[in-house]
Amino acid sequence: MRFGGMIFKKWRSPEEWAAANLEAGYSAVYFPVDYTAADRVIDGYRDAARAADLVICEVGVWNNVLDPQREKREAAIERAVHQLELADHVEANCCVNIAGTYHPTLWDGPHMDNFTRRAFDDVVGATQRIIDAARPQHTCYTLEPMPWMLPSTPEEYLALIQAIDRPCFAAHMDVVNIITSPSLYYRNAEVIEDWFDKLAPYIRSCHAKDIILRDQLTVHLDECRPGTGGLDYRTYLRCMTRLDDRICLMLEHMTEEEDYVQATRYLKGLAEEMSIDL
């Protein structure tokens, strides 16, 4: 599998950017600019990644295509279309967003209606609009599972895949985001296996972080650096070996360079113990 994360070293050219990723021990990258960048800049990063044998794993959208305010919702859908077009142009593994929320102010917040039939239909409709407008040929549009919106189970993801009914709609895995209770936390190996058993043919990217259950009421589940929480990374890595070797495990959500260094060391060491090429 491929492996990547954030880089902190400053760069002045796409070639320096690619070299910094290789220096960090990565074989996959987040694409560093969005669709508003000049064509020569976009092509420069695409070509530098190819020359360095770095898989462009993700082009992110990260907005709310279900925003209750119509103007914001339409703007979010328009940006998603352009980002998907960008992902297709650079032949990224996927373009990733969240499904969306009815929260009035937070783009990724909880809402009581997020798991209703209305939400399911709205997610299907918005995703179809985005894919049909961009018409990707070399990438897939994916939705990252989130704790308080669709899809929160592999069955919900499969139902979305069936309803959206587009060959370029695929799956994104973030196993920390689906650990939302003590029960799921303590049997997370079983949960990981269930998601991979049902979604493996569709998975295009996986996120790497960790989660820890605190001993304070009522329930506190916090993200943490890989290797410092309760996530069963042996099961996670073993399940990932069933995927195409261009599918990536991507570190995220850490603010300090040293955390990425330590996380990389932990995951590469574990993979070596398991005779997995990471």
Confidence (pLDDT) at 4: 98
**CA-to-CA dists, residue 107 to 115, 174, 254, angstroms:** 16, 18, 20
* Helix axes of 117-134 and 154-164: crossing angle, nearest 10 degrees: 50
Helix (H, G, I), strand (E, B) or coil at 169: strand
| CB 6, CB 254: distance < 8 Å | yes
pLDDT at 237: 98
**Residue range 207-251, pLDDT digits in tens:** 999 999 999 999 999 999 999 999 999 999 999 999 999 999 999
How distant, in Å, are the alpha carbons of 8, 26, 240, 259 from that of 17? 10, 12, 27, 20
Q: What is the pLDDT of residues 242-270, one digit of tens each?
A: 999 999 999 999 999 999 999 999 999 99
CB-CB contact of 64 with 122 (8 Å): no
What distance in Å separates the CA atoms of residue 5 and residue 207, rounded to the nearest whole number? Answer: 9
Q: In which band, very low, low, confident or very high, does the pLDDT at 176 lie, cut at 50, 70 and 90?
A: very high
Structure tokens at 154: 């592999």
Quickly state the pLDDT bin for 20 (edges 50, 70, 90).
very high
Residue located via tokens 């809402």: 111
CA 198 to chain centre: 18
Give me the helix-helix angle, 39-51 and 14-23, nearest 10°.
40
Query: pLDDT tens for residues 62-83?
Result: 999 999 999 999 999 999 999 9
Q: Using a cut of 0.75, tell me whether the model's pTM lies above it.
A: yes
Which pLDDT score is estimated for 166? 98
**Domains of the chain, residue spans:** 2-273
Can you give the pLDDT at residue 200? 97
Full DSSP string of 51-93: HTT-EEEEEE--S-TT-SSHHHHHHHHHHHHHHHHHHHHHT-S
What DSSP character marks residue 200?
G
pLDDT at 149: 97
Q: Among candidates 155, 163, 94, 157, which has minimal Cα distance to 124?
A: 163
pLDDT (tens digit per residue) in 23-51: 999 999 999 999 999 999 999 999 999 99
Antiparallel, parallel or unpaired: β 210-213 and 221-224? antiparallel
Give the up-direction half-sphere exposure of residue 73: CA atoms within 13 A in the CB hemisphere: 17
Measure the CA–CA gap between 140 and 171, rounded to whole angstroms: 9
Greatest CA span in the chain, whole angstroms? 53
Counted residue by residue, the chain has a size of 278
**Taking the CB of residue 176, how many other CB atoms lie within 10 A of it?**
24
- What would the pLDDT profile of 116-161 be if each residue is shown by its tens digit? 999 999 999 999 999 999 999 999 999 999 999 999 999 999 999 9
- CATH 3.40.50.2300 applies to domain 2-273: no
Reported as a single tens digit per residue, the pLDDT across 93-112 is: 999 999 999 999 999 999 99
Residue 24, CB half-sphere, CA atoms under 13 Å: how many?
A: 29
Return the pLDDT at 190.
98
251, 265 contact by CB (below 8 A): no
Q: What is the pLDDT of residues 180-208, one digit of tens each?
A: 999 999 999 999 999 999 999 999 999 99
